[in-house]
Amino acid sequence: MFTSVLMIEQPLTAVDVDFVTTLHGDDAVSFIVLMQPRGDQDRLLRAIDDVALGELPEAIHEGDEPEGDDALGPAAHALAHSLNALRAKGAKAVGQIIEDHPLDKLKTVVDEHGADEVIVLTAPHFVEEFFHRDWASRARHKVGVPVLKLFAHNE
């Protein structure tokens, strides 16, 4: 069975689930989903990304995103939704919320499970990507397995 570690920051959409579950054709795939609460990311960088994408109302409301302990409830709900969606497509899926140091946790999970790849499924983060400080760019130097970066879809 092929094992993929899937890093996400928002619930998987139906399009995302279809895409990641069909990446390896008919091969059986097991997913370990790592969810980072969105509020734990830098608010200013999120606002800049919103402006770059022409989503001005979202940029204005970045301050409304729950942070810290308040972000854990929405993250747990998003993780449960994503795991259920993957399982409904026939994939094995387990997951956890990442509260601190996402790349350190990613390295640990890859090593512990003997993962074959990492898939980073995220919204565009132009500033971080430009400076190669996004999850995927940094993970490529840390995990020792292929890292695939995909952009998440909105429903």
Pairing of β 117-122 and β 29-35:
unpaired
Grade residue 131 by pLDDT with cuts at 50, 70 and 90.
very low
pLDDT of residue 139: 79
If you search the block for the tokens 């952009």, which residue do you land on? 151
pLDDT of 1 > 70? The answer is yes
pLDDT of residue 124: 59
Question: pLDDT, tens digit, for every residue of 11-21?
Answer: 999 999 999 99
Q: Are 121 and 114 in contact (CB under 8 A)?
A: no
pLDDT of residue 48: 55
| Cα R_g (the chain), whole angstroms | 15
pLDDT of residue 17: 95
Give me the DSSP letters along the chain. -EEEEEEESSPPPHHHHHHHHHTTTTS-EEEEEEE--GGGS-HHHHHHHHHHTT-HHHHHTGGGS--GGGGHHHHHHHHHHHHHHHHHTT-EEEEEE--S-HHHHHHHHHHHHT-SEEEEEE---HHHHHTT-SHHHHHHTTSSS-EEEEEPPP-
